[in-house]
Amino acid sequence: MKQFNNITIIGVGLIGGSIGLGIKRKHLANKVIGVFRRKSTLDKALARKAVDAGSMTIKDGVKDADLIILATPVHLIPGMAEEAMKYAKKGVIITDAGSTKKWIVDKIEKIVPHSKFFVGSHPMAGSEHKSVEFAVSDLMEGSPCIITKTRNTDKTAMAKLVKFWKAMGAQVKVMSPEEHDVSVAMISHLPHLVAFSLAGAVPIKDLSLAAEGFKDTTRVASSDPELWADIFLSNSSRLIKSGRTFERYYKKLIKALSKKDHGGVVRLLKSAKSKRDKFVYGKNS
């Protein structure tokens, strides 16, 4: 069921491309337009049918849009939003797919005009890949999508965005940008930080012996370093606090090991397993 006439996606990589494919599969818009920096990416997106048309300029890409989705790296989002707002029509809704919210929302809310609306989003889906070639139409199915609400958020625009992400198959949760960044620092940013750290710490000579455990634990360390450095730095204070929490638990385990405290080690492992099982198997496990 169509919710918008024209939707423009700025940044058609894995996330932007998957959103485009999802919009088309769910018939949520008459037309999906992509905005690109490189002609080669535009050609790939058209070949994958992630967009119906493409533009190499924001001006041409957003002029007819009813909804604009910014799916670029975090540090580019505020600037892209400012540029898009110059040429977008009145009543347009602008959202993003950035992994950090307070920094983005604070910057954009300072510049958004009264006739246009911004509501922050974070569809929490993806993989270690970043190219539109890896985009899939059902990436959002069953995945959390956080929508941020502040005192400046337009209720009608937010309601339309909630409806949109739900139609994409996402499980929508509304929270403040601050709440988002605290939670995501622990359950998304920290796991990536730990995976990168583990992969970086292992001697190359030992990699030939590594099997599925190492592969599973470090999978996200194959993610784009530039993109994740961007995310880490934009949410650094919360990530550092999350890192300290992780450090305390890790030190408890190391201390129990140093004392050869079998019971203590088991208790810590059981506590960790219980949380993991609740995540994987549901709250009643």
Order across the sheet with 4-10: list the strands. 53-55, 29-35, 4-10, 67-70, 93-96, 117-118
Looking at the fold, whether 243 and 266 belong to one and the same domain comes out as yes
* Chosen domain end from 176, 194, 224: 176
Written as tens digits, the pLDDT of the chain (285 aa) is 799 999 999 999 999 999 999 999 999 999 999 999 999 999 999 999 999 999 999 999 999 999 999 999 999 999 999 999 999 999 999 999 999 999 999 999 999 998 999 999 999 987 677 789 889 999 999 999 999 999 999 999 999 999 999 999 999 999 999 999 999 999 999 999 999 999 999 999 999 999 999 999 999 999 999 999 999 999 999 999 999 999 999 999 999 999 999 999 999 999 999 999 998 877 544
* Residue with token string 């201390």: 255
pTM recorded for the entire structure: 0.89
Listed residue (149, 137, 221, 224) closest to 179, CA to CA: 149
Domain with 154, as residue range(s), is 4-176
* Chosen domain end from 158, 176, 194: 176
| H or E element that contains 240 | helix 236-258
Total structural domains within the chain:
2
Q: What is the DSSP string of 55-104?
A: ESSHHHHHTT-SEEEE-S-GGGHHHHHHHHHHHSPTT-EEEE--S--HHH
- CA 82, distance to chain mean position in Å, is 20
Looking at the fold, whether 26 and 59 belong to one and the same domain comes out as yes
3-class state of residue 157 by DSSP: helix
Looking at the fold, whether 184 and 158 belong to one and the same domain comes out as no
d(CA 255, CA 198): 20
